[in-house]
Structure 1
Amino acid sequence: MAPRRDTGRRSARLRPVSRPRLYEQLVERLLDYIHSERMKVGDRLPAERELATQLGVSRASVSQALVALEVQGVIDVRHGDGAVILDVSAERQIRAALRARRHRLREVIEAREALEVKLAALAAQRCTPEDIQAIDDALGLMAREIAQGERGLAGDEHFHAAVTAAAHSGLLAGLMAEIAELIRESRIESLAQPGRPEESLLAHRRVADAIRAGHAEAAATAMAAHIVAVSDTALLRED
């Protein structure tokens, strides 16, 4: 009688094959299109509606794929001008970066929770009239951007920078500077969500009101709630 094969150990080593997520498949298709059409820097991709029709998916799915390419610096999504090609780097590099993006986004959110909640509390305790003016200027900029149909990226960035400056903590400001580019990626990802720019502006105003009133605990609570809200992205909801 032939001896039994020990399949238990071999089976234990096997891992399920991960199926590419829809947005990843769409990114692949869009990269293939860019290269097959020999598109150059400054060229525009077809409109979202046209891409969705050709790919047979929803506009929301196309939008998520475009955001992924925007984060990697391949395109720039401009209000009223569509997706403009910024870079036509090697596809392999782009795809490798996209694979690491989900894990990196989670870590950036964790870092923001650790740093920005404390910064908001310190800002409420240490802010000067000039700091409050900088925060209000950032809120005004974001409101104008949203009113013009944009995402409010610059205003959002200026607001968080103003809160960081108002905390008057050189060490914490230095740590924020270290991860600034990664935060920018998460900001693009978040503000691309439908309705998110308006929600973020409202949350910023709550944080600003608490800082202006000198309420450290309320400022920390408002900032924590804001970061939780902006962390709800289509990319992470796919888990």
Structure 2
Amino acid sequence: MADISDALRPMGRPRLYEQVIERLREYVSGAGLGIGDRLPAERDLAQRLGVSRASVKQAIVVLEVQGLVEVRHGGGTYLAKGTLDVEPVERLVERRRRLPDVLDAREAVETKLAELAAERRTTADLDSLEAALDFMRDEIAEGADGAEGDRRFHSAVAAAAHSAMLADFMRSIAEPVAESRTESLRQPGRPPRSLRQHLAIFDAIGRGDGRRAAAAMRRHLRSVAEVRLLTWDPDDEPR
């Protein structure tokens, strides 16, 4: 039986910046703003909402972390999506907590997979890698982030390594890997950069150069690790 005192635990207080985010969401929807439109300046928002500028800034950071806005230093804040439908902050906090471990695992395993792929790939493997790159290229050309093509490429690298145990391990962490992929590809300008890095990996695998393939994969995964989420402090609540 649950401890009845738990029912009288202290009630949580909504973070002020979460309330600011909700007001911004209503504003964007009501004003009919869309991708590329600029939000009012932080100073104006703070004045109109009756909150500190620090609270507005933290709200903008949370929106930026989720890829919903793009902050151009000295140039304002612009919508990157058509709405400001945000994830719960608690979910962001949990993902931020586990992301470093996922990235460490990816670098340790996927660099080895790339090396093995260069040494063991077949003609059919190279065809699968090329098809994944073509798919990602088409996705990006159509305005998407290329996530499915990215997934197909990394799966094709794992298959080309012909290591059943490493492939099983990658399947076991597929969900957190997908989260890291989403986090990376929603960074401004990241999809075409990721595609270029995939092309470098493919070139090394095609040449049968294991050392070069591993180095190209390592560079790519360290780029994947450069996400706004990891620099965000969820406890930095303005007073």
* TM-score of the pair, normalised by structure 2: 0.68
**Whole-angstrom CA distance in 2 between matches of 1:50 and 1:25:** 25
Supply the AA of the counterpart residue of 2:97: H
**Whole-angstrom CA distance in 1 between matches of 2:84 and 2:232:** 27
Report if the CA contact (8 A) 1:191-1:197 is conserved.
yes
Supply the AA of the counterpart residue of 2:82: G
**Whole-angstrom CA distance in 2 between matches of 1:166 and 1:224:** 17
Change (3 A) 1:230 1:124: same
How far apart are residue 236 of structure 1 and its match? 1.9
1:220 aligns with 2:207: no
**Whole-angstrom CA distance in 1 between matches of 2:22 and 2:165:** 41
How far apart are residue 183 of structure 1 and its match? 1.0
SS of equivalent to 2:40: helix
**Whole-angstrom CA distance in 2 between matches of 1:138 and 1:203:** 13
Question: 109-118 vs 187-196, which deviates more?
Answer: 187-196
**Whole-angstrom CA distance in 2 between matches of 1:173 and 1:119:** 9
How far apart are residue 197 of structure 1 and its match? 0.8
How far apart are residue 159 of structure 1 and its match? 0.5
**Whole-angstrom CA distance in 2 between matches of 1:49 and 1:62:** 18
Supply the AA of the counterpart residue of 2:186: A
Report if the CA contact (8 A) 1:48-1:63 is conserved.
no
1:108 matched residue in structure 2: 102
Would you say how many aligned residue pairs link Structure 1 and Structure 2? 193
2:137 matched residue in structure 1: 143
* Corresponding residue to 2:205 among 211, 222, 231: 211
**Whole-angstrom CA distance in 1 between matches of 2:128 and 2:17:** 40
Change (3 A) 1:225 1:65: closer
1:20 matched residue in structure 2: none
1:82 aligns with 2:82: yes
**Whole-angstrom CA distance in 1 between matches of 2:120 and 2:204:** 13
Higher RCO structure (Cα 8 Å, ≥6 apart): 2
1:16 matched residue in structure 2: none
Supply the AA of the counterpart residue of 1:108: V
**Whole-angstrom CA distance in 2 between matches of 1:84 and 1:238:** 18
Report if the CA contact (8 A) 2:121-2:160 is conserved.
yes
Report if the CA contact (8 A) 1:123-1:211 is conserved.
yes
How far apart are residue 231 of structure 1 and its match? 0.9
Change (3 A) 1:63 1:156: farther
* Corresponding residue to 1:155 among 143, 149, 152: 149
Report if the CA contact (8 A) 1:151-1:192 is conserved.
yes
Change (3 A) 1:113 1:207: same
Deviation track 1:32-83 (CA, whole Å, cap 9, x = no partner) reads 888x9xx9xxxxx964666843974689746525449xxxxxxxxxxx9834
How far apart are residue 100 of structure 1 and its match? 1.9
How far apart are residue 136 of structure 1 and its match? 0.2
1:195 aligns with 2:189: yes
Identity within the alignment, %: 40
**Whole-angstrom CA distance in 1 between matches of 2:149 and 2:18:** 28
Report if the CA contact (8 A) 1:52-1:62 is conserved.
no
Change (3 A) 1:147 1:52: same
2:40 matched residue in structure 1: 53
Change (3 A) 1:33 1:236: same
Supply the AA of the counterpart residue of 2:64: Q
2:178 matched residue in structure 1: 184
1:6 matched residue in structure 2: none
Deviation track 1:100-151 (CA, whole Å, cap 9, x = no partner) reads 2212111111010111000000101111111100000010011111111211
SS of equivalent to 2:182: helix
1:119 aligns with 2:106: no
How far apart are residue 98 of structure 1 and its match? 2.1
